[in-house]
Structure 1
Amino acid sequence: MDKIEEFFVVYKNAAWNKDVNQMVGLYHENVVIFDMWEHGFQKGLEAWSLEISNWLGSLGDEKVKVDFEMISVQEKSTVGFASAVVSFQAVGLDQTILRGMKNRISLGFIRDEIGWKVVHQHTSAPIDSNLQVLLDF
């Protein structure tokens, strides 16, 4: 990626097209992931690639529509940071929205001779005092 902003477009397209390689290509080999699902923590591109492959491979006929809001990007020559609210919607063959959710996402990037890569990703969702997820931002 030449610009950090490209992450949001590539991620969205990779999810919709179930393109594991395109999505994996966004991440650095030493990536650290703090995720909200199953393992909660992944270290290294090999482990994260398996998670991405399992996620996109589990969709069957469904597609995933991803949208980003409230995108904020800060970058210097070799280090960058971004945050956003991300929504995921499962879309059926008839284009019906089957389910959906929103998360917050924070991303740390490093730039090398190839371009920008995600080296740290953290997803979360706020909860109320009853430990219920608040998904409407």
Structure 2
Amino acid sequence: MKNIQDYFTIYKQSVWEKNTQSLIELYHDNVVIFDMWEHGYQTGITAWSAAIKDWLGSLGEERVNVIFEMIEIHEGDNAGFGSAVITFQAISATNTIIRSMRNRITVGFAKENEQWKVIHQHTSAPINSSLEAILNF
């Protein structure tokens, strides 16, 4: 990625196309992931690559439309971060939205050899007093 904004475009396109390699290439070898699903915490590109392959490989005929809103980017010389609200829409083979969910995402970037890579990614959702996720924000 030449600039941090590219992350949001490439991520969306890679997920829609189920292009695991393109999605994996966004991440640094030493990436740290705080995810809302199954493992919750993963380190390194090997573990994160397996999670990406499992996710995109499990979709069958479905596709996932990713929508980023409220994108904020802060970029320095060799470090930066972005945040957004991210919506995942599962799209059926007949182009119908069959389920969706919203999360918050914060992404930390490191720049090496003039290329930005994700070094840290954190997804979350606020919770109410009953400890239930509030995804409509």
TM-score class, shorter:
over 0.9
Q: Structure 1 residue 133: deviation in Å?
A: 1.2
Paired residue for 1:2?
2
For 2:110 and 2:100, how far apart are their aligned partners in 1?
31
- Mapping 1:21-60, distance limit 5 Å: 21-60=21-60
Written as runs of structure 1 = structure 2, the 5 A alignment for 1:60-71 is 60-71=60-71
How far does the alpha carbon of each residue in 1:83-123 deviate from its partner, in whole angstroms, 9 at most, with x for none?
00000000001111010000000010000105000000000
Measured against aligned partners, the alpha-carbon deviations of 1:50-97 in whole angstroms (never above 9, x if no partner) come to 000000000000000000000000011100011000000000011110
Aligned residue number for residue 81 of structure 1: 81
Q: Deviations over 1:21-59 (max 9, x none)?
A: 000000000000000011101100000000000000000
Q: Does 1:123 align with 2:89?
A: no
**1:9 is paired with a residue of what secondary structure?**
helix
Q: Percent identity?
A: 53
What runs of 5+ residues in structure 1 fail to find an aligned partner? none
Counterpart residue identity of residue 105, structure 1: I
Give the 3-state SS of the residue equivalent to 2:3 in structure 1. coil
Amino acid at match of 1:25: E
Q: Which position in structure 2 is the counterpart of 1:102?
A: 102
Structure 2 segments unaligned to the other structure (5+ residues): none
| CA distance in 1: counterparts of 2:13 and 2:81, whole angstroms | 21
Partner Cα separation in structure 2 for residue 96 and residue 82 of structure 1: 30
Cα distance in 2 for residues equivalent to 1:19 and 1:81: 24
Equivalent residue letter for 1:125? A
* TM-score, with structure 1 as normaliser: 0.98
Structure 1 distance, partners of 2:95, 2:59, is 14
- Tell me the amino acid that sits aligned with residue 11 of structure 2: Y
